[in-house]
A and B are shown apart, each in its own frame.
Chain A
Amino acid sequence: MRRPFSFASCCSALLALSLVLLPPAAPAAADDPPAAGSPPQAATPPVAAAPAAPDLQAVIKRAKAKVFPALVHIQPVYEEYRGGSKVLGTATGSGVIISPEGFVLTNYHVAGRARKLICTLSSEARLSAELVGADPWTDIAVIRLHLKELKGEPLAWASLGNSDRVEEGDFVMAMGSPLALSFSVSFGVVSRRDRPLGQDMNIESFQKTGLFNTWIQTDAAINPGNSGGPLVNLDGEVVGINARANTSAEAIGFAIPVNIVRAVADQLIAKGKVTRSWIGVSWQPLEEFSEHFKAGSGRGVLVAGVVDASPAAAAGLRPGDVVVEFDGSPMNGRFKKDLPGIARRVADTPVGREVVVKFVRDDREQEARLKTEELERAAGEDFECKDWGLTVKEITRTMARELSLEDANGVLVTGAKAGGAASRVGLENGDVIRELSGAAVTDLDVFRHLAAKAPRGPKVRVLLRVLKGGRHPRLVLLPAGDAEPAPVAKETPAPAENAEKPDPVQ
């Protein structure tokens, strides 16, 4: 708040996100042709005929008044693992109260990793809140205000609309705290109701986002700090949660459609997490390939990849298959914008359910049976090993796949503090510790345990078996807790040019 215009301090999280957006020049639009079959709106009444301005102003004011009092300015305090140690960080985001119990919708990247949440209401009342649940896959989090701190002040809440009814050209307002400028309203239209934003957006290391939703694109100004705030229609209903913007462009912001948000928030409030099914398939729109894969009439969706040892692999599905039916309902993924729906269809299947998948291969419809598994958390838990100046991350199966590791054994080094024991022996980001003092590090808990009971003291060395860069096996002798100061002096001297040894084997 002291430096409202500093991007880094107010909204580093959102900034990082916005970077993953397509660069302005990228032909994103070419990828997703406008939906066929939605005919142009017929008979729009001529606007110029009547002076609509006074009415519109009144409508805007009414709509604003319905949501504005429910706005929340959120300052999360979170833990970050950076440079080999755990540090506290803070940011600024937005939120909207949706119930008299004090539940607030916001983004995962605002509140999902918060240890502490400081909220300011539009009445300027400050109160704390707690995290109810967070879902990185859709970038949604629900927090709950500690209403006791309000001391009886009345609480306003906003109602949620229906994002399926949003159309291009609809007037909308974005509300929130752009650049920490709390309780700001901006105004614009819906630029595109169902923008697909690709499948490769990371919300944090190893955690993808946006796989299960399209986005409402708007030209109502959305800036860092608006994250988590509502996108409001002229009926004064929340139709989206603003989540990202292309910071290199003007007036290109994106909100998560509220129908998606509602479904996620319901689960978060009910059980603190969202359960999804996983079968291990990545999808591609069929349109371009319907002829090639002889899938007539645009029915079905193309299998682009199948994860090894996944339910789909076990069922014999492979790239090039065109899936036409999943668990009794048709799968139609003609265009890129259809893929989030396809992914949702699979995710919403109960975990562990036996489903029948119908697919076309070699011009023939076939059937496979598979059992869904639970979609696991993609990013592992972090841990700081202070003595060694080292931070590590649990390796999930998803991470193991992304890192091309043989299995999920070991822990991933995420940082080594300059001058610390770990950095002195060359451990660095991307290394995988597989063995500690001769014992296999199977997961983070084992590492925690082994690290805690490893011997310490001057001259003591702990033997680590490491995969350098996640790849090359190497043994490392870690000076465990030797208390000698002056890390700079401890650094290995650069090899002197003339100190080369003659070839010992000549």
Chain B
Amino acid sequence: MNPPRLASASAPALVTAALGLLLAPLASARADERRDRIVAAFDKARACVVSLRWHPKLTGPPEAVALAGEQERERTADAVLVERGGLLVAVGSQVEPGEAPVTRGGVTLDRPDRYRVKLPSGKEAHARFVGRDEDTNLALLQLEEDARVHLGDLPYLDAAGAAKPELAGEVLVVALMSAEFGYAPRFLLTRVNAHLEKPWPLLGTETPVGDYVGGAAVTLEGAFVGFVGLRPPAPAPAPGTREGAGAAAGRGSRPAPPPRVSPLPTLYPASVVADLVKHPPQAKKAWLGLHQPALQALTRELAEALGVGGRKGVLVGEVLDGSPAERGGLRDGDLLVRFDGKDLDVDEDRDLPRFLRLIKRAGPGKEVQLVVLRRGAEGKYAESTHVVTLEEVPPGEQEVQERDEKDFGLKYKELTRDVLLNLKLDYRTTGVRVTGVERAGWASLAHVQAGDIIRKVDDQDVSDVASFQALLAKARAEKRPSVVLFVLRGTKTEFLNVHTEFK
């Protein structure tokens, strides 16, 4: 028998049990308190997470638009109120079809003029698109003014006043569930596991936040931590690297499609959002008149070879004729070192897309100061300053609508600057570009080919789509038995006789 041993053995257990009995209410009180904090933070965050709903804006032939309209379902995305003025931050690629509008079956999909916003209170309002930052893929929207007046002060997550969460600090990620669940808010409790600085500040989370895209993260105190965005994939290789150059060159070759890589759900710190709010991107993109294939980073080696060692910037191989840059006095071969008051820290071709986005983002109409190094008579580079007024990006091939000329069996488009550049034609070249011919149609029987540029109809100049349509309408009204087209095919011109059968 060893009762003392038993006693001694069970003493700690007893103590623990006794302590447990004593502390149990305390622990449960702590758990309650923790739950309350989580719920409070959740409540605070969910008051600021809204749901956006919209139909993409469709343009194109009315029948096609009507057909597409029936097929286009309502789209939704989450957004977060981040400012007193009713500013909303959302994922750019979710609320906008892309950098350029998307065309499907002759119908162009674009973002709508206004988005419906469903607030957590159940009230609805409208918001308009402010702009999108291509680097971070963040978009800003703003509630319309009457909604702001009508709704009064709305809660928001203050990006400016946010603190950076510590490593291993707990954060609550809040987003809305799908329509099926009535857009009910829900949260995820996780910890910050990384502070990243590249490619721009980002927060890593212990648990993936893929199901919470468009939502907000707050601390357990309810302070704004960040926004769950979709980080765009790495930019395509710049031309000049082997792949890029091949795709850019070549007569009539289409520009290579952007690589299809899924963007990554990532937590952006509030500071990135604050920066976006402070410098909102423009909805309309600005254009200087430089195009990427003719740009080159001033690498360390190149700078030394040119006798401007230590400088960084962009070597402008070609300034497009008739562009803002040309009017501002930029010349082929200039080394651009400062843009809009900022030194360009570009010394690798990979930096170029970001440089171009910097221009786009500045917004059309803005006057910017450019500092360039220009080669003088003795081959020495000297600095000069130029003031250029940015313009709106001219529409590209992808953005102009394809027209269908049913009688002639001919599809065509306005001649855009990017096409002229690809074909190495003067930017002032006028005409319309044939994008397709119907098999055995009038145009096809006359050997009209896709890619032909129609310059004249019955000896009358075609200046644009409107004049082409007018000339064909005239032929139709007069029921002409044949219409003579003057086309540019490659580097050669040719007449084509289209036999018509107007009724």
Q: Do B317 and A474 touch (CB < 8 A)? A: yes
Q: Do B245 and A471 touch (CB < 8 A)? A: no
B486 is an interface residue with CB less than 8 A from chain A: yes
How many cross-chain pairs have Cβ atoms below 8 Å apart between A and B?
Answer: 131
Q: How large is the interface on B (under 10, 10 to 19, 20 to 34, 35 or more residues)?
A: 35 or more
Taking A428-B246, A469-B245 as contacts, is the C-beta distance between A505 and B339 under 8 angstroms? yes
Q: Do A320 and B305 touch (CB < 8 A)? A: no
Chain B residues, CB < 8 A from A404: 251, 423-425, 491
Chain A 272-296 interface 0/1 with B at a Cβ cutoff of 8 Å (1 = within): 0000000000101000110110000
A3 is an interface residue with CB less than 8 A from chain B: no
Chain B 296-308 interface 0/1 with A at a Cβ cutoff of 8 Å (1 = within): 1000011001100
Closest to B318 in A: A473
Chain A residues, CB < 8 A from B275: 506
> How many angstroms from the CA of A51 to the CA of B315 in the assembled complex?
84
Q: How far is the CB of B357 from chain A (nearest CB, A)?
A: 9
> How many angstroms from the CA of A282 to the CA of B332 in the assembled complex?
34
Cross-interface CB contact of A505 among B246, B333, B355, cutoff 8 Å: B355
Q: Do A292 and B199 touch (CB < 8 A)? A: no
Q: Do B245 and A292 touch (CB < 8 A)? A: no
> How many angstroms from the CA of A471 to the CA of B248 in the assembled complex?
10
Q: How far is the CB of B55 from chain A (nearest CB, A)?
A: 34
Q: Do B305 and A463 touch (CB < 8 A)? A: yes
Q: Do B491 and A401 touch (CB < 8 A)? A: yes
Q: Do B358 and A472 touch (CB < 8 A)? A: no
B364 is an interface residue with CB less than 8 A from chain A: no
> How many angstroms from the CA of A495 to the CA of B353 in the assembled complex?
15
Closest to B355 in A: A505
Chain B residues, CB < 8 A from A475: 296, 302, 305-306, 315, 317
Which of chain B's residues 353-388 have a Cβ closer than 8 Å to chain A? 354-355, 358, 379
B497 is an interface residue with CB less than 8 A from chain A: yes
B494 is an interface residue with CB less than 8 A from chain A: yes
Chain A 287-307 interface 0/1 with B at a Cβ cutoff of 8 Å (1 = within): 011011000000000101100
Q: Do B198 and A477 touch (CB < 8 A)? A: no
> How many angstroms from the CA of A461 to the CA of B303 in the assembled complex?
13
Q: Do A474 and B296 touch (CB < 8 A)? A: yes
> How many angstroms from the CA of A504 to the CA of B345 in the assembled complex?
5
Taking A469-B248, A472-B239, A475-B296 as contacts, is the C-beta distance between A505 and B342 under 8 angstroms? yes
Q: Do B497 and A289 touch (CB < 8 A)? A: yes
Which of chain B's residues 203-253 have a Cβ closer than 8 Å to chain A? 234, 237, 239-242, 245-246, 248-251
> How many angstroms from the CA of A477 to the CA of B297 in the assembled complex?
13
Cross-interface CB contact of B492 among A288, A289, A305, A492, cutoff 8 Å: A305
Cross-interface CB contact of B245 among A284, A401, A426, A502, cutoff 8 Å: A426
Q: Do A468 and B348 touch (CB < 8 A)? A: no
> How many angstroms from the CA of A468 to the CA of B239 in the assembled complex?
9
Q: How far is the CB of A261 from chain B (nearest CB, A)?
A: 28
Q: Do B197 and A502 touch (CB < 8 A)? A: yes
> How many angstroms from the CA of A428 to the CA of B239 in the assembled complex?
13
Closest to A302 in B: B495
Chain B 6-40 interface 0/1 with A at a Cβ cutoff of 8 Å (1 = within): 00000000000000000000000000000000000
B461 is an interface residue with CB less than 8 A from chain A: no
Closest to A405 in B: B424
Q: Do B200 and A506 touch (CB < 8 A)? A: yes
A330 is an interface residue with CB less than 8 A from chain B: no
Q: Do A468 and B240 touch (CB < 8 A)? A: yes
Q: How far is the CB of B459 from chain A (nearest CB, A)?
A: 7
Q: How far is the CB of A392 from chain B (nearest CB, A)?
A: 17
Which of chain B's residues 389-416 have a Cβ closer than 8 Å to chain A? none
> How many angstroms from the CA of A401 to the CA of B237 in the assembled complex?
31
Chain A residues, CB < 8 A from B301: 461, 477
Q: Do A495 and B249 touch (CB < 8 A)? A: no
Chain A 111-148 interface 0/1 with B at a Cβ cutoff of 8 Å (1 = within): 00000000000000000000000000000000000000
Taking A320-B459, A475-B315, A505-B342 as contacts, is the C-beta distance between A470 and B332 under 8 angstroms? no
Most chain A CB within 10 A, of B315, B333, B354, is at B354
Q: Do B333 and A473 touch (CB < 8 A)? A: yes
Q: How far is the CB of A57 from chain B (nearest CB, A)?
A: 46
Taking A289-B484, A305-B493 as contacts, is the C-beta distance between A426 and B198 under 8 angstroms? no
> How many angstroms from the CA of A284 to the CA of B489 in the assembled complex?
14
Q: How far is the CB of A293 from chain B (nearest CB, A)?
A: 8
Cross-interface CB contact of A472 among B237, B318, B350, B493, cutoff 8 Å: B318
Q: Do A501 and B494 touch (CB < 8 A)? A: no
Most chain B CB within 10 A, of A461, A463, A472, is at A472
Closest to A496 in B: B234
B435 is an interface residue with CB less than 8 A from chain A: no
Q: Do A500 and B199 touch (CB < 8 A)? A: yes
Closest to B486 in A: A319
> How many angstroms from the CA of A402 to the CA of B251 in the assembled complex?
10
A205 is an interface residue with CB less than 8 A from chain B: no
A153 is an interface residue with CB less than 8 A from chain B: no
Closest to B299 in A: A477
Closest to A304 in B: B494
Q: Do B250 and A477 touch (CB < 8 A)? A: no
A503 is an interface residue with CB less than 8 A from chain B: yes
Q: How far is the CB of A471 from chain B (nearest CB, A)?
A: 6
Chain B residues, CB < 8 A from A291: 482
B293 is an interface residue with CB less than 8 A from chain A: yes
Taking A304-B493, A426-B245, A468-B245 as contacts, is the C-beta distance between A501 and B350 under 8 angstroms? yes
Which of chain A's residues 471-501 have a Cβ closer than 8 Å to chain B? 471-475, 477, 492, 495, 497-498, 500-501
Chain B residues, CB < 8 A from A288: 497
Q: Do B495 and A471 touch (CB < 8 A)? A: no
B135 is an interface residue with CB less than 8 A from chain A: yes
**9 extra interchain contacts, Cβ-Cβ under 8 A, other than A319-B486, A404-B425, A474-B317?**
A284-B494, A304-B492, A404-B491, A428-B245, A468-B248, A471-B249, A475-B302, A475-B315, A502-B200
